[in-house]
Amino acid sequence: MSNVAGRTDWAEEDDDDQVALPAPQVTKNKDGTETIVTYIMREDGKKIKTTRRIKKTVVKTTVNPRVAERKQWAKFGQEANKPSGPQSDTTSVAENIVFRPQANWKASADDKSEHEKKKANLKDAKIKCRICSGDHWTTKCPFKDTMAPEGEAGAGVGDLDEPEAAGALGGGGSSYVPPHLRNRAGGAVGEKMGGKYERDDLATLRVTNVSEFTEEQDLRDIFSRFGHVTRVFLAKDRETGRAKGFAFVSFADRDDAKTACEKVDGYGLGHLILRVEFAKKST
């Protein structure tokens, strides 16, 4: 059937050549090297045999052990129950990710108009300290520990068992109770019932480098694998509602917090790498 002169099917000719040439041979040598023998057909029809002896090098990719460990974590959220490793339908692994940190991401994301800024300034200007009439809140007054608000000088203070505690509350006798001091009877918040009241931050982690797209639930998902998360606070801009870049995560157990701190520090969430450390007492 086939007429060699009038042939147009070159693919078939290739096939013929392949059949004509011996398959490459690979021989493993005792010293760990390999001898590879390949045959090729030159243009002029001569058969060439090539013998190569190669030494195989094992290429080790170094993965941070902590990163390797995280890869074993069970998936959560929408990816819960999916097998480990990237899902081809949602994840592209070959993409060249260019990491471009922006120094002023907050400012650039901020589309606050000029008049809004002015409004904020006006609001600030209205602040008047009740102690020294300065332009700060009474609670921020440098004299708040030594002076009572005007018109309340000394009133009732002598009757209290813990005058300095009362001063530190910033209430100085006013009826206002800051949110974190409310429901003291609940016992969940103030640890030292006999002294100054402070939030229990013994098992609280501060998480920084949190992307503005992060939500509290995202953090809860990540951290709750280490123990009972009692509270997640994500600092947000009050006007824009966008995350400010840091958060607090509290655990019921400080040991769990410690583990979580070690394990999640360096974890990539969104396009950022989380930094986790124990929270210090807020100023």
Partner DNA sequence: GATGAGCGC
- By CB under 7 A, tell whether 283 contacts DNA: yes
- By CB under 7 A, tell whether 100 contacts DNA: no
CA distance 142 to 132: 9
CA distance 210 to 274: 6
Q: How far is the CB of 149 from DNA (least distance, A)?
A: 7
Task: Give whichever of 137 and 143 is closer to DNA, judged by the CB atom.
Answer: 137
Task: Give whichever of 138 and 256 is closer to DNA, judged by the CB atom.
Answer: 138
Q: How many residues bind DNA (CB under 7 A)?
A: 38
Listed residue (180, 276, 163, 175) closest to 219, CA to CA: 276
Residues 134-193 that bind DNA (CB under 7 A): 137-140, 170, 176, 178-181
Retrieve residue 181's tokens: 């001091």
In the set 73, 105, 143, 213, which binds DNA (CB under 7 A)? 105
Task: Give whichever of 214 and 226 is closer to DNA, judged by the CB atom.
Answer: 214
Distances (CA, A) of 125 to 115, 120, 171: 15, 9, 22
Put residue 282 in one of left, alpha, beta given phi > 0 → left and psi -120 to 50 → alpha. Answer: beta
Put residue 126 in one of left, alpha, beta given phi > 0 → left and psi -120 to 50 → alpha. Answer: alpha
Task: Give whichever of 115 and 238 is closer to DNA, judged by the CB atom.
Answer: 238
Region binding DNA by CB under 7 A among candidate stretches 16-24, 29-37, 113-121, 200-208 = 200-208
CB count in 10 Å sphere of residue 139? 16
Residues of this chain that bind DNA (CB under 7 A): 105-106, 127-130, 137-140, 170, 176, 178-181, 199, 201, 204, 206, 208-210, 233, 235, 238, 244-246, 248, 250, 275, 277, 279-283
